[in-house]
């Protein structure tokens, strides 16, 4: 191994294998997928994002929500159609590459300090207030009040405090607890444009609300 040329070429060759395998192959195998068209209705899956939701994606990225939230649902078991993610109702099926087709960037994530958000837009709760736009605003503004003990940082900087001019804004955040005491009776908290975009993005995250041929739907969810 005393020849520099052999050494350099060997290193390049080793590197090249994984470069081809894990950078170039995904480009061809996953980077050129097409949406699935429903023959009957002509609808395409996955659906696209609205312009506002797309701007919300940038807010999501800028504030590092991915440090605590994943956007991927995992199947396991034999056959692989169940598992804790499904039982938690984080999705009706596991996410596959095609589910990210319409994203500018996919934040699949690697930490689950909080729940998975792949399907936060279609999440249901017996409490009819939960997961509404107003709930999202309040949760982003004061997560510890909405979910006591939450580790989620309040995103105060996505909101504005302002004097109520005439009528209360219909978007005004429902502020409760300690935070309400700091608020004068003639003041209100309203979302900034960024908060609106972010919530629009969250509400359009419905990554398994449509079927794709390459992945079965969990039996529990279809019954």
Partner 1 sequence: MSVIVTEEEPVSSASGVTPAAVGEAATLIQSNAAEVAAIDRSVRLPVLLFFGAGLIWLLGGSLLHLLAAIKMHEPRLLSSVAFLTYGRLWPAANDALLYGWLSTAGLGLALWLAARLCRARLRHEGLLTVAWAVWNAGVLLGVLGVLGGNSTSFEWLEFPWYAAVVLLGAYAFISVWMLLMFRARREGNTYASLWYLLAALLCFPWLYATANFFLLFLPVQASAQAPVNWWFVHGFYGLWLTPLALAAAYYLVPKVLGRTIHNYPLAVLGFWSWLLFSGWRGGQSLVDGPVPVWMSSVGIGAAIFTIIPLVAITNNLFGTFRGRGDAWGWSPSLRFTHVGLLCFVAATISGILLAIRSINRVLHFTQMEVAWNYLALYGFVSMILFGAMYYTVPRLAGWDWPSQNFIRYHFWLCLAGLGTIIFALAMAGIVQGYGLRDPGVPVISTVQMINPLLVTRTCGVLLLGAGHLVFAASFVLVLIRARGGQPVTASDVVGGRRRAPAVATEEIQPTSATVEHAVG
Residues that bind ligand HEC (CB under 6 A): 60, 63-65, 67-69, 113-115, 117, 120, 123, 143, 147, 150-153, 155, 198, 202
What are the structure tokens assigned to 10, written together? 């060997």
Asked if 149 interacts with partner 1 (CB under 8 A), we say: yes
Q: Which of 168, 114, 104 is nearest to 143 (CA)?
A: 114
Q: Which two tokens stand for residue 19?
A: 């470069």
Tell whether residue 61 is a contact of partner 1 (CB under 8 A). Answer: yes
Tokens at 9, concatenated: 């070429």
Q: Which of 37, 43, 48, 113 binds partner 1 (CB under 8 A)?
A: 113
Residue 46: cis peptide before it, omega within 30 degrees of 0: yes
What is the footprint of partner 1 within residues 165-194 (CB under 8 A)? none
- Tell me whether residue 60 or residue 141 sits nearer to ligand HEC (CB atom): 60
Residue number, 93 or 203, with CB nearest to partner 1: 93
Q: Which does 47 bind (CB under 5 to 8 A by kind): partner 1, ligand HEC, none?
A: none
Closer residue to ligand HEC in complex, CB, 44/50: 50
Q: Which of 53, 39, 80, 57 is nearest to 211 (CA)?
A: 39
Structure tokens of 181? 């005491």
Structure tokens at 189: 């908290």
Residue 152 or residue 215: which is nearer to ligand HEC going by CB? 152
Q: Which of 42, 79, 84, 213 binds partner 1 (CB under 8 A)?
A: 84
Name which position in 101, 175, 212, 218 contacts partner 1 (CB under 8 A): 101
Q: Which residue is nearest to ligand HEC (CB)?
A: 114
Distances (CA, A) of 210 to 28, 43, 50, 107, 206: 24, 11, 17, 20, 8
Kindly tell me which of 57 and 98 has the beta carbon lying closer to ligand HEC. Answer: 57
CB 141 within 8 A of CB 175: yes
């Amino acid at each position: 191994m005393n020849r520099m040329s052999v050494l350099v070429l060997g290193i390049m060759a080793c590197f090249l294998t994984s470069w081809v395998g894990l950078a170039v192959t995904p480009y061809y195998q996953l980077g050129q997928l097409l949406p699935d068209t429903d023959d009957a209705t002509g609808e395409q899956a996955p659906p696209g994002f609205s312009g506002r939701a797309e701007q919300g994606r940038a807010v999501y990225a800028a504030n590092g929500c991915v440090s605590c939230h994943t956007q991927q649902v995992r199947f396991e078991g034999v056959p692989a159609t169940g598992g804790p993610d499904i039982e938690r109702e984080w999705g009706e099926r596991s996410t596959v590459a095609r589910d990210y087709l319409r994203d500018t960037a996919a934040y699949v994530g690697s930490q689950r300090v909080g729940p998975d958000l792949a399907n936060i837009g279609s999440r249901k709760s017996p409490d009819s207030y939960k997961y509404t736009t107003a709930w999202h605003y309040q949760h982003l503004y004061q997560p510890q009040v909405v979910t006591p003990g939450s580790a989620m940082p309040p995103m105060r900087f996505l909101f504005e405090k302002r004097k109520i001019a005439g009528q209360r804004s219909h978007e005004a955040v429902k502020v409760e607890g300690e935070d309400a005491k700091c608020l004068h009776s003639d003041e209100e908290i309203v979302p900034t444009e960024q908060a609106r975009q972010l919530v629009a993005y969250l509400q359009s995250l419905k990554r398994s609300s449509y079927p794709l041929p390459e992945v079965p739907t969990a039996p529990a969810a279809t019954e």
